[in-house]
A and B are shown apart, each in its own frame.
Chain A
């Protein structure tokens, strides 16, 4: 029988040829470069500092959140104080009687943006410059 090919190849040549292609590429596997002195400039101190400042800001955030919550609670608590309710009602009553605001559904409280509320030693002044009256004084 005649040989189909008279050229000889090394043993397992064809089995390994694909692998050689990869091996050939392997010589160029360091294709990724980086800025000069990059590795020298990787500073563990910076990483440690970053972690410490992160912890600091995390603690700061926790502290400020707790403080905010406490302030909100304090404000809510102050808002419902008896003295304040009394004063507001008092002002409302006087306004209604003296200035005939019965039909205008006025809501007055010390946080109202319509009124400037001041309390000087039990003398309450509520001013509204857009209304007919300039201020109201209650002793």
Chain B
């Protein structure tokens, strides 16, 4: 039997969703949603793309997709999780299209992105931060994502599992591997 997965959603979120799905109240509700979520989504995308301009482009696309497809949202996860997933997919697609456009391999592309951080006026880190971003960028996609969601966003494994569509057990393994790789590389290359 096909049973709809139930998620615990706050009354406020339910009400917002109802307004988003109603054509009369959609625009106002969307305005509210953008105000609530723009910072979280921005930083989630930025951590994957590193550069502000690219992030801004992708963020606009993410909101366009959300606006366009809110009617199709099945409410099998929290709204934020669904938005997070859209942002993740859009960021990954953006990186893939960049690879194709400039005929880069993933490694060259990430190296270029990391090197660009040194001249980026919107990057406020030192060499150690650039180093950390470099290590994170080169992690396998799943490990990178799990690490970022856990380390920076403090998301629960269950939430990450809904976003990426992988079991909690597998995510824990990925996180553990990612953490160990980062620790190892930082310890090898850095003295505090």
Contact = CB atoms under 8 A, between A and B. Distances in A.
A44 B47 contact: no
26 contacts: A19-B183, A21-B183, A21-B187, A22-B182, A22-B183, A24-B192, A29-B151, A29-B152, A31-B124, A31-B129, A31-B133, A32-B46, A32-B50, A33-B124, A34-B52, A34-B122, A42-B38, A42-B59, A44-B30, A44-B34, A47-B30, A47-B63, A48-B27, A48-B30, A51-B67, A51-B68
Contact of A44 (B63, B68, B122, B133): B63
A51 B123 contact: no
Given A29-B152, A44-B35, A48-B67, 12 more contacts: A21-B190, A28-B129, A31-B125, A33-B124, A35-B52, A35-B122, A38-B56, A39-B38, A39-B39, A42-B59, A44-B27, A47-B67
A34 B38 CA distance: 13
B187 to A, nearest CB: 7
B82 interface: no
A26 B68 CA distance: 36
The DSSP consensus for interface residues of chain A is helix
B7 interface: no
Interface residues of A, number: 25
Interface of A: 18-19, 21-22, 24-26, 28-35, 38-39, 42, 44-45, 47-48, 50-51, 54
Contacts of A45: 31
Interface string B28-63: 001101110011001100110010100010011001
Contacts of A39: 38-39, 42
Contacts of B86: none
